[in-house]
Amino acid sequence: MKVQEKLLTSRRMNHLVIELEGEEAFSYERPEHLAAVIRALQRYPTVDGVVTGGLKETLIAGGPLEVLKKLSEIRRKLERFSESATPPQGKAGKPPRRCSTCPSSPSELLKKELQRFDSNPLEWTPKDTGLKGLGLAQCKECTRRSERFLRELSGEVEEIFGRIELLG
């Protein structure tokens, strides 16, 4: 599926147009459609509406757009935390190293979870991440950071999934 994005602006509104080439119409049940819209909203977070086009055009605004923006925010948080899960050690110019106590880096784990989120946003749950993350984290610092982050993220995801169920 090829995706093209255009930002249309006027005095009152900003709309993002996403062309889904080769597709009939946008569907919330298609993970690749959702992932494309979520990534686009990450680049353009202030739009008032999203028009997705294939053979049929769909306008996403109001409640559904807010839900997608929240999913975009969760993806951004996952991305940011996966980049900063292991703080740089030594000189500022050196890349971050793995925690010396833990067998694998929390950032590696969270990058895998980010890929899982991108493949199917509606079936991803942070509880799975928490079990894996806490099993791998052995030092107090990694455990504390991942527990706090995942607890906050879990609450947000449950709220969003509740809204998605209401939308239907």
Contacts of 27 (CB under 8 A, 6+ apart): 33
pLDDT of residue 2: 64
DSSP 72-92: HHHHHHHHHHHHHSS---SST
* Angstrom distance (rounded) from CA 113 to CA 105: 13
- Residue among 49, 40, 42, 55 nearest 5 (CA): 40
Q: Quick one: average pLDDT of 133-140?
A: 60
pLDDT of residue 133: 53
Residue ranges per structural domain of the chain: 2-61, 101-167
pLDDT tens track for 69-110 = 888 888 888 788 777 654 444 444 444 445 666 665 666 667
pLDDT of residue 112: 76
pLDDT of residue 66: 86
Q: Quick one: average pLDDT of 1-15?
A: 71
Kindly report the average pLDDT of the chain as a whole number. 72
* Angstrom distance (rounded) from CA 6 to CA 72: 18
pLDDT tens track for 41-76 = 888 888 888 888 766 777 888 888 888 888 888 888
